[in-house]
Each structure stands twice: as C-alpha cells, then as structure tokens.
Structure 1
Amino acid sequence: MDPIQGKAAGTAPVPLSVLDLVTVGEGRTATQAIRTGVEIAKLAERRGFHRYWVAEHHSMPGVASSSPAVLLAHLAAHTDRIRLGSGGVMLPNHAPLVIAEQFGTLEAMAPGRVDLGLGRAPGTDGATAAALRRSDRLHEGADEFPQQLAELIRFLDDSFPDGHRYARIHAVPGPVQGPAGRPPVWLLGSSGFSARLAGTLGLPFAFAHHFSAQNTIPALDLYRESFRPSAVLDAPYALIGVAALAADDEKEAHRQILSGALSMVRLRTGRPGLVPTPEEAAAHEFTAVERDFVDGWLSNIIAGTADEVRSGLDDLQKRTGADELMITANAHGGEARLRSYELIADAYGLPG
C-alpha cells in the first residue's frame, strides 16, 4: 500500500487517524501525558487507525509535544505497524538539515512507518518564536517557507546538484549510506498558502479543520485546483484534522469538551496553562466575550455518543470530500480520550 494514502478499515468511509497534542491536565504531569500518548498510539494501532501524529507546540503548559522527533522515537519503540508522524514540525523554527537528520533517523528506526508533516507557523507566540529562531525577523520564516521546503527535500533525497554549496553535505541517516526509504513529506495548513503550494508540488495536504473550519472547503478546493501530478502522487490526497470526542452519553461528552474550550480561552487571552478539569470548566463564569468564543469553538467539535460522533464524522467527510479524517480529542484526562477512540472504533466496526 502507498505509505501516503490510507485504506479505510471497518465501515469507515475513509481511513481514520489520530492527532495527539499530548495534553497535560491540571493535577497531571508531562510524564503521565506522554504515557497516555503511548497508550493512545497502541490503542490506535490495535484498533486499525491508520496514523498517529503529534504536533509541535512551544511554551504551552497544557501540551507536552514541543519535540515531535523525540516523541516519535519513543512511540516507535512501543508500536509495530501504525504510521507515526508530525502534524507537524514547524519548518521555520529549524534548520532543514536538522529536520532531515532527525527524520532520517526515525525512518531508520521504524522503516516505512514515518510521515514528515510540515507547517510554516511558529506553533507559539512571537516572543517564543524569536527565542527558538534566535531572530526577531519572524515574517521572513513564513515568506521563505518554499525555499526552506525545497532545501529540506534536497537533503532528504541527497540530491543537491554539482556546484551547489551543499552538494558535499549529506543528511545521515540518509541515501548516502545506501538504498533506503525516506519519510513522505506532507504540507499542513489552516489557510490557502500551503494548500496551493502542496497542490503545485504534488504533495499530500493536511488541513487544520479543528481550528480553522471556515477555511476548510476553500482551502481544499484550492489544493485540488492547484494539484499537479508528481512522482509522489498521481491525484490529490487531502486529510483534515477534526476535533471529536465520544463518551458513553451525550452529557458526559459535552462536560469533557468544555475543559478544552476553557483552555483555548486562556490561550487566546495570553494566559496559557494546564488543561482545566471538567469541574473547573463547569464552575467557570464566562464573560460575554468568552461565551461567544466558546460557542464558536464548540460548534466545530463533534461530540456526543459514539453513534452521534460517527454521524458527524460521516457528514463532514461527505461535505469536504476528505480522503482521510484525523481525529483529535482535547480533554483533561487520558481516560476520556482513550475511551473516545475506543468508542469511535466500535462505532465503525474497526478490528478489536
């Protein structure tokens, strides 16, 4: 099977995958969050989900995924078959050679199972991005993304032409050491820029529907309209990230997702912290402005019983024509997230 394209399991209309932010809840630790991530990856593998990705975020107490390559190495040691990847690595934060070497190492550790998803946003606030990049010229990182991407792919393929200043530099592990596969490159986005670039280059595209739902269909249309067949893909392949949480009853599902909503309110107002408990979220007195934000945020989350979540996911896939759905469950505790993926797998008849 093509490592880029998935195969639907059970009665799912398209492959189902997992995006994990490795969330750290109030009263929990990063160690516990990472252990939960391992359990989710193992559950996803056992139940027939296609991929498990982690996302790069910085200076956010409520997530433990600032170093995707490190996490993926740990996850590779605890799984056997499921594809593992970044959703994504923020390319402007890193030298392309560093990413090529990190993901070449991962590919050597878990051959044929690694995806390299790339974004052009910082994954954090401006001050933290400046600290990461040792520069205040943040706009240049985004503007230079196509050139950085081209350089990264050259390092991954060991394909700089003779005379290029990097022609004698080799990313290792990599092709210079002998025939080997390399991670497929995905572009991630929440607007049209990466959609158009992914289409022009013939790369698979992952769209962040879970926090930019109003842009989903325009971005996917632009990707498909811009698509040019490549050595990687003959036809467009679009994955969308979806916020969804299933519970044993509808009330419990909505109680759980309110924690994530309050966490987002605090993040958007410059007060990031650990993910609050459902009890804290239920007791919080939202201002009118906060309530408007929460209502909008919750309207893009598919939550309820397993059957309700399945219905919502099926409807979203039909409306967008997505080739794959990547589900993220943002809740306080690992138990709720594990239960959600188990229930969704049951609803689709994924293998047990």
Structure 2
Amino acid sequence: MRDAIRGEVLGTAPVPLSVLDLVTVGSGRTASQALATSVELSRLAESRGFHRHWVAEHHSMPGVASSSPAVILAHLAAHTSRIRLGSGGVMLPNHAPLVIAEQFGTLEALAPGRVDLGLGRAPGTDGATAAALRRTATLHEGADDFPEQLAELTRFLDDAFPDGHPYARIHAVPGPVQGPKGRPPIWLLGSSGFSARLAGLLGLPFAFAHHFSARNTVPALDLYRESFRPSSVLDAPYALIAVSTLAADDPKEAHRQVLTGALSMVQLRSGRPGLVPTPEEAEAYDFRPAEREFVDGWLADIVYGTADEVRGGLDDLQKRTGADELMITAHAHSGELRVRSYELIADAYGLPRL
C-alpha cells in the first residue's frame, strides 16, 4: 500500500504531480460535455505521467457536476488503464460507511490496485442540502462523529469487525471476504487542523485543500507531521496539497479564465450558485468593493500564467510547504483550456509521453 501512496517522480518535477477534477460546467455547456472533458483529461493525465486523478464530491452546485464521485470514477476507470483514480474526496458524514465500502470495493474490483479513497468531514454543500442527504437537520453530528465513522468504514473495508459486534456478520461486497485482495488506501482530506491531526495520529496520508484555504496550509501540514505516528500504511508522513493552477499559451487568457472561477465563488458565497460564467461575463461584472477584495485574495492564491510562470510558482509553493505531492485543479470556463493547461504543465516539467 505504501507504493500506492508514494508516487513516482517523472521528468524534472520535484514531486509527483496529480489532478483534482471538479467536473466544472461552463455557461452554455452541459454536464455531459463536462464529463466528456473529464474523460479526455484523465486520458491525457495518464499518457503524460500524472500520478492520480481525483474527483471531488459537491452537491446542489449547477457548475460542478461531481455529485457522485463513485459513478464518475467507474466511468474514468473504463477509459484508462494505469493512472490512479480516487475521491478528493467523499464527504463521509453524508453517507453510511457500509455504502462507501461497497462502492469503493466495487471500484477496486473494476480497477484493481488503482483506487484511492479520500475522505472529508465537511458536507460539500449548503446546510439544507446536507440535511436532505443525511436525513437529519443536525449537521454537527456527522462532523463530530467522523472518527467513529472512519473506524467503522475501515472495518467494513477490511472485513474486520470482532466477534460479538452487531456488524460482525455483515460483509461489504465486493471486498476481502471474497479473497486475498487489497483494498483502496484511505486518505484524510482537510482545510484545517482537525483532519491533519487525525491523519497523523492514525498514520494515514493527508491531503490539504490549499486551493481554498491557503492561509492554513503550513500550520496544518506542521500539525500533521508533528502528530504523525508510523502505521502499517506509512512509516513517515506523506502530504499532498491541492493547488488552483492554470497555464495558457497567452498569459492574458489565463487571467481571463481564472477570473471566471473567482466570479463563480462570489456567486456561491452570496447564495447564487450557477454555471461557470464566460470570460466576457466575468469581465463585464460590476464587482462591489467587498467582492473585489475577495476576488483579489482569491486570485493571489492561484498559480496562473504561462507554463514557465506556473512551473516557477508551483516549485516555490512546494519548497515553502514541503509537500510530497502537488495536486493541480484548473478553474476555467473552457474545458478545452483546462485540458490544455495540464498539457502545458506536463511540457514545462518534461513529463514523458507514456
């Protein structure tokens, strides 16, 4: 399992490079087109030596078509053969642990040795939608129970409930009860210190959401490393960070495209989620002073520009954080430009064509 976690460094990249896919839907486009872009992106990532392709769980957001990671990952598995695929992540409090064990056991059977199970404790949506998902109005209950839910999920994945436990005769199928096969490695995801500490104490790999919580990145990684205890999974800490990144042939176009993602966040924060606007819509939008301040801060945490500029920014970020892996997520209205961004980054790092 250690080999499944620690990726191979290719080209001149200082650490493995991976993909975080939000399956974004641009204005004037459809979810079907966004999902087709994800397939194209996964094939490109595999052919250029990116280590893994993760899909994030979000709900009730028209511009993000990734409400069902397991379904999307099964589709990507059918169109790839080598790249690791996983959730970045599944929001565990939204689901019964047995359901997740069954889904990811099925994925492991479809793509043996290629599946990661990344878990988060946030809802991945607004409170009302989370309540509809969980069938309860008490949202804090799921977050507070996360360690217990994680322990239950792990036992389902390992088929390891002790005799006398109420679930001892329940088996997640497909799963290890059917034969000596591995199971997907578990990652903990976070944007603050809670999951960082828990991942360290359990000796699990940790993924930090630098793309929307940049100020907390270094403190969370420090806490993870300080809390780390060796386990059967890892003998040393392993942390990746997700980074908003966009490379373009024209740096002006890179700025135009990332502005669309910034406007999407403004709309989401104001309770008006929608499709990712076009660059023309973003340029024409009259930002209020508070919105402009938010956008300026948002753009400051995105690594964008030409391929060489992006490589420089990513290298500096990796040195500053000591991240063991960089997971790139591209925010743009254009699916074609998102795919092109990954190709440019691969070229900048001299990643091979496999």
TM-score norm. by structure 1 comes to: 1.00
Counterpart mapping for 1:186-335 below 5 A: 186-335=187-336
Cα shift readout 1:23-54 (whole Å, capped 9, x = no counterpart): 00000000000000000000000000000000
How far, CA to CA, are the matches of 2:99 and 2:339 in structure 1? 33
AA of the residue aligned to 1:113: R
How far, CA to CA, are the matches of 2:314 and 2:136 in structure 1? 41
The DSSP-based 3-state class of the residue aligned with 1:48 is: coil
Structure 2 counterpart of 1:93: 94
For residue 333 of structure 1, report the CA deviation from its aligned partner: 1.2
The DSSP-based 3-state class of the residue aligned with 2:29 is: coil
Structure 2 counterpart of 1:30: 31
The DSSP-based 3-state class of the residue aligned with 1:73 is: helix
AA of the residue aligned to 1:124: T
Matched, 1:41 2:42: yes
For residue 249 of structure 1, report the CA deviation from its aligned partner: 2.0
Matched, 1:183 2:180: no
For residue 181 of structure 1, report the CA deviation from its aligned partner: 1.0
Cα shift readout 1:234-278 (whole Å, capped 9, x = no counterpart): 000000000000001211110110000000000011000000001
Matched, 1:70 2:71: yes
How far, CA to CA, are the matches of 2:318 and 2:9 in structure 1? 13
Counterpart mapping for 1:117-136 below 5 A: 117-136=118-137
The DSSP-based 3-state class of the residue aligned with 1:3 is: helix
Counterpart mapping for 1:131-150 below 5 A: 131-150=132-151
How far, CA to CA, are the matches of 1:7 and 1:316 in structure 2? 19
Mean Cα deviation higher: 282-291 or 109-118: 282-291
The alignment's C-alpha RMSD in Å is 0.6
The DSSP-based 3-state class of the residue aligned with 1:2 is: helix
How far, CA to CA, are the matches of 1:255 and 1:69 in structure 2? 32
Structure 1 counterpart of 2:3: 2
Cα shift readout 1:205-233 (whole Å, capped 9, x = no counterpart): 00000000000000000000000000000
Runs of 4+ displaced beyond 3 Å: none
Structure 2: stretches of 5+ with no match in the other structure: none
TM-score norm. by structure 2 comes to: 0.99
The DSSP-based 3-state class of the residue aligned with 2:252 is: helix
Structure 1: stretches of 5+ with no match in the other structure: none
The DSSP-based 3-state class of the residue aligned with 1:243 is: strand
The DSSP-based 3-state class of the residue aligned with 2:54 is: strand
The DSSP-based 3-state class of the residue aligned with 1:327 is: strand
Matched, 1:168 2:173: no
The DSSP-based 3-state class of the residue aligned with 2:3 is: coil
How far, CA to CA, are the matches of 2:339 and 2:60 in structure 1? 25
Cα shift readout 1:280-301 (whole Å, capped 9, x = no counterpart): 1011111101100000000000
How far, CA to CA, are the matches of 1:317 and 1:221 in structure 2? 14
How far, CA to CA, are the matches of 1:351 and 1:264 in structure 2? 35
How far, CA to CA, are the matches of 2:32 and 2:253 in structure 1? 26
The DSSP-based 3-state class of the residue aligned with 2:5 is: coil
- Percent identical across equivalent pairs? 84
How far, CA to CA, are the matches of 2:283 and 2:352 in structure 1? 36
